[in-house]
Chain A
Amino acid sequence: MPPAIETVDLVKEYGDLRALQELSLTVEKGEFFGLLGPNGAGKTTFINTLVGLVRKSGGEARVFGHDVEDDYQQARDAIGLAPQEFNVDRFFPIKEVLTHKAGYHGIPASEAAERADDVLKRVGIYDKRDERFDWLSGGMKRRLLLARALVTEPDLLILDEPTAGVDVQLRHDLWELVTELNEEGTTILLTTHYIEEAERLCDRVAIMNEGRKVTVATPDELKQRGTDTIAVHLASAPAAPPDLGPYAHETTVSGDRLEVRVDDGGATAPRLLNDLEAMGHEIDDLEITRTSLEEIFVDLTRSEDRTVTRSSAESAGDDAPPADGKREGEREQEGVA
């Protein structure tokens, strides 16, 4: 059984700019795969190469074993794409837009009409079926993009930042729906800026930066790559930072609060407590802070040496991708322009 997506040394160049740099990636059939990366990382270029909206400059790309250029019809037939942009036919009511799209995929008119009704109900905008796209609200437009991707019942569903700029309710609805689809066997490729989204939904994630694959791992594996911080409240402030040995990467003292950076906070805490007690310190309280996926993401996409450290993540905080959605307005503006 060929993988859902397989690229080998995929390259896309725009003049001097290399949008994709020898990108090799495999997404297995049935997987829920996340693609994370800052703006300009090459995520959309990668997706568009698969669906035929970008012509690759080099390398190979296959969808379920079908080359995206030599066997473009088979490859495209397998894909349902919900893009970032609102690229919907403005001339027709949305139900007709869906029946047309289904028709292009070889689905006869009567079945296409049934499917259009089904997916409009599934995404919750059936009562708007006779409206044109321009009359829908932003959230409904986003739902329609998903409906259009689903109407062909694709084996591979590609969602390019599906929850960008949508409200919490819609975000949760979408999460529920795509989880359901994945459980039904649909392979899903999701690009997102929201780390929480990737952490919650994806079996594996690839982190991309500047057209390159930085790493591929499960969200849990990624989190284990980061360091944790154990904060200890001592009964009395120590005169100097205690000498704790090599497991402590960094030790700082602020009054009666001692902070120790370690690889695995949970496993290291008992040893740290024993060591501190052996040194004569009395411990009032202890708190372990785990590295978030977001911090690891920031670190991986910023550090030249790919070393994950909390301090570097904190220093990069201002440029972190928008986990709180505050930058959505800016992105929407760019889209409109």
Chain B
Amino acid sequence: MLSVGFRALFRREILRFVRRPKNTFMPPAITNVLYFAVFGVILGGRIDEIAGYPYILFIVPGLVVLGAISNAFENASFSIFHGRWNEYIHETLTSPLSYVEMVVAYVGASAVRGLVVGVIIAAVGRAFVPIGIEHGLFLVATMIVITALFAGLGIIGGLVARDFDDLTVMNQFILRPLVFFGAVFYSLETFEQPWQISLSLLNPMVYMVDSVRFGLLGHSDLIGVGILPGPYADFAPLVSLGVLTTGTLLVMAVDVYLFKIGYGLTD
């Protein structure tokens, strides 16, 4: 897997965003300063604790997830689509890299960007409120899985898109609403009606935000609302991570298949 060719493509993909921090790292840093200042300090000061945590601390995991997966998606979709648009993706396609190597390199590099953005957002949050890490290994595993998942989805987006507007639509009109309704700014335990919880549980973002919140704060809404029956209730975060991992592998398998059949890549 770690062939010279794979490393060359992975390095190229990393350098592409590392050398453009104004386009890749500055925007999420500034946006999240605003989020923390407005939602956390100004509005959050008027909100009671949620699930036993100050509001500004409660929203940190959700904002980390929002930034990380958005950037992972955006990086992969842009890289693929821009390469298609200008046809320089031919440099990769005409090389002896295997389709698996191509996909893992694109996904891996985009996931790295998502992870770096996640760390930046956590660092910004740290400037506003002390943040601890309750379950470090679980947190790292979750972040890797969800950024890889959205990088994999970004590849599909980049292959399907017909123009740049399509990428904007995917990010702004699908991804963000799902994240905002994914319990970033509220706890599922605040819902009074069971249907509200049931509806929320259909949103896959809920599981991602909850897993990161469990890793950072040690709190899981999924345990709180009892998504798993009695004796297994505490395993909810682990089950979430398992399902997310499976989903990520499936999405990457779809990516490899699309590369193999040349969807959006070959005539």
Residue A108, interface by CB 8 Å: yes
Binds A, one of B3-11, B162-170, B173-181: B3-11
Residues B5 and A105 in contact, CB atoms below 8 Å apart: yes
Residues A52 and B92 in contact, CB atoms below 8 Å apart: no
A53 contact from B7, B15, B86, B267, Cβ within 8 A? B267
Residues A101 and B93 in contact, CB atoms below 8 Å apart: no
Knowing A101-B91, A103-B4 are in contact, say whether A77-B96 is a contact too (CB < 8 A). yes
Residues facing A in B136-154 (CB within 8 A) are none
Residue A150, interface by CB 8 Å: no
Residues A53 and B266 in contact, CB atoms below 8 Å apart: yes
Give the shortest distance, in Å, between A62 (CB) and chain B (any CB).
15
Residues B96 and A103 in contact, CB atoms below 8 Å apart: no
Residue B95, interface by CB 8 Å: yes
Knowing A51-B94, A53-B93, A55-B262 are in contact, say whether A104-B87 is a contact too (CB < 8 A). no
Residue B90, interface by CB 8 Å: yes
Knowing A52-B266, A53-B267 are in contact, say whether A104-B88 is a contact too (CB < 8 A). no
B-facing mask of A86-127, CB < 8 A → 1, else 0? 011111100001011111111111001000000000000000
Knowing A53-B267, A54-B267 are in contact, say whether A103-B90 is a contact too (CB < 8 A). no
A55 contact from B11, B15, B97, B266, Cβ within 8 A? B266
> Which chain B residue lies CB-closest to A83?
B90
Knowing A52-B93, A88-B88, A89-B91 are in contact, say whether A103-B8 is a contact too (CB < 8 A). yes
Residues B88 and A87 in contact, CB atoms below 8 Å apart: yes
A100 contact from B87, B91, B94, Cβ within 8 A? B91
Knowing A103-B5, A103-B7, A106-B3 are in contact, say whether A91-B16 is a contact too (CB < 8 A). yes
Which of chain A's residues have a CB closer than 8 A to the CB of B93? 51-53
Residues A53 and B95 in contact, CB atoms below 8 Å apart: no
Residue A76, interface by CB 8 Å: yes
Which of chain B's residues have a CB closer than 8 A to the CB of A76? 94-96
Residue A73, interface by CB 8 Å: yes
Residues A103 and B9 in contact, CB atoms below 8 Å apart: yes
Residues A87 and B97 in contact, CB atoms below 8 Å apart: no
> Which chain B residue lies CB-closest to A111?
B4
Residue A196, interface by CB 8 Å: no
Residues B94 and A79 in contact, CB atoms below 8 Å apart: yes
Of A74, A89, A108, chain B has the most CB atoms within 10 Å of the CB of A89
Residues A100 and B8 in contact, CB atoms below 8 Å apart: yes
Of A14, A105, A108, chain B has the most CB atoms within 10 Å of the CB of A105
Inter-chain pairs besides A55-B266, A105-B96, 11 sampled, C-beta below 8 Å? A45-B267, A51-B94, A53-B94, A87-B86, A87-B91, A90-B88, A101-B95, A103-B5, A104-B96, A106-B3, A108-B4
- The 20 listed contacts between A and B (C-beta, < 8 Å) are A45-B267, A48-B267, A52-B93, A52-B94, A53-B267, A55-B262, A81-B94, A83-B90, A87-B86, A87-B88, A87-B90, A89-B12, A104-B91, A104-B96, A104-B97, A105-B96, A106-B3, A106-B5, A106-B96, A109-B8
Residue ranges of B at the interface with A (Cβ–Cβ < 8 Å): 3-5, 7-9, 11-12, 15-16, 19, 86-88, 90-98, 261-262, 266-267
